[in-house]
A and B are shown apart, each in its own frame.
Chain A
Amino acid sequence: MKKAVLTNLAPKPAGPYSQAIVANGFVFVAGQIPNDPATGKIESDDLAAQTERTLENVKAILEAAGSSLDKLVKVNVYLTDIRDFKAMNEVYARYIKGDAPPVRTTIEMGACRDARKIEIDCVALA
């Protein structure tokens, strides 16, 4: 059985997909972007600010699903410029703490349709 999650504290899906799906004890979160859910827009070109906004969106969705950042098991980070790795990492470390942080893969992606520099998808325990 699976259940879809929708919160207005994170951006609306940009296509026929759910923000999160809970299934078999896990929460799958759709690729999140640095859009402010209040305005629907990307409010900053700064990578640190974009990382913060993106992780806030992830956090909101996980909490709407009854999970949390502490329960993350796997994270994929996509950057438009891999040289932003360090700046992303610094913000990431403020959000992802504890003795058993989730596994992570960070790769550079190609162009985006907007000013986003980062996108993050993840899987957490429900």
Chain B
Amino acid sequence: MKRALNPPNAPKPIGPYSSVVVANGFIFVAGQGPVDLATGNLIESDSIEDQTRATLTHVRTLLEATGSSLEQVVQVRVFLKEIDDFGGMNAVYKEFFNHPAPPVRTTIEAPNLYGKRMKIEIECVAAV
């Protein structure tokens, strides 16, 4: 059994995919970016800190829409347009994932994210 959600207080999917799918005890969150909910476009800031914060805020909103939370995340993938942003991303990431047993993570450079100014995209899996 699976259940899909596209909560209105998070970015709308930009293709035939769900924002979140809940299945067999896990919550799968689609790749999120630093979207400004008011405009539907990327946030104005080009700072990696601001973009990371906006992105993780959407991840948190999506998890909470299913009744889950950041503390239940088990796996994260971070895609950076430039790997040199690793330090800036990590600093903000720590503000969100500061609990014991943080999720596993893979961070790789993806040179061409969808959206020219987009510096970060994050996907994750949480346990229900």
Size band of the interface chain A makes with B:
20 to 34
Partner of A3 from the list B76, B77, B101 (CB cut-off 8 Å) is B101
From 79 to 110 in chain B, residues with beta carbon under 8 angstroms from any chain A beta carbon are: 82-84, 86, 90, 93-94, 97-98, 100-110
Smallest beta-carbon distance B8→chain A, Å: 29
B109 CB contacts on chain A under 8 angstroms: 109-112
Q: What residue of chain B has the Cβ atom nearest to residue A32's Cβ?
A: B106
Partner of A110 from the list B25, B102, B110, B125 (CB cut-off 8 Å) is B110
In this complex, how many residues of chain B approach chain A with their Cβ under 8 Å: the count is 32
User: Which applies to chain B's interface (DSSP): helix, strand, loop or mixed?
Assistant: mixed
The total of interchain contacts (Cβ-Cβ below 8 angstroms) comes to 88
From 1 to 44 in chain A, residues with beta carbon under 8 angstroms from any chain B beta carbon are: 1-4, 13, 15-21, 23-24, 26, 28-31
Establish whether residues A121 and B104, one from each chain, have CB atoms under 8 Å apart when the complex forms: yes
Q: What residue of chain A has the Cβ atom nearest to residue B108's Cβ?
A: A109
Establish whether residues B74 and A21, one from each chain, have CB atoms under 8 Å apart when the complex forms: yes
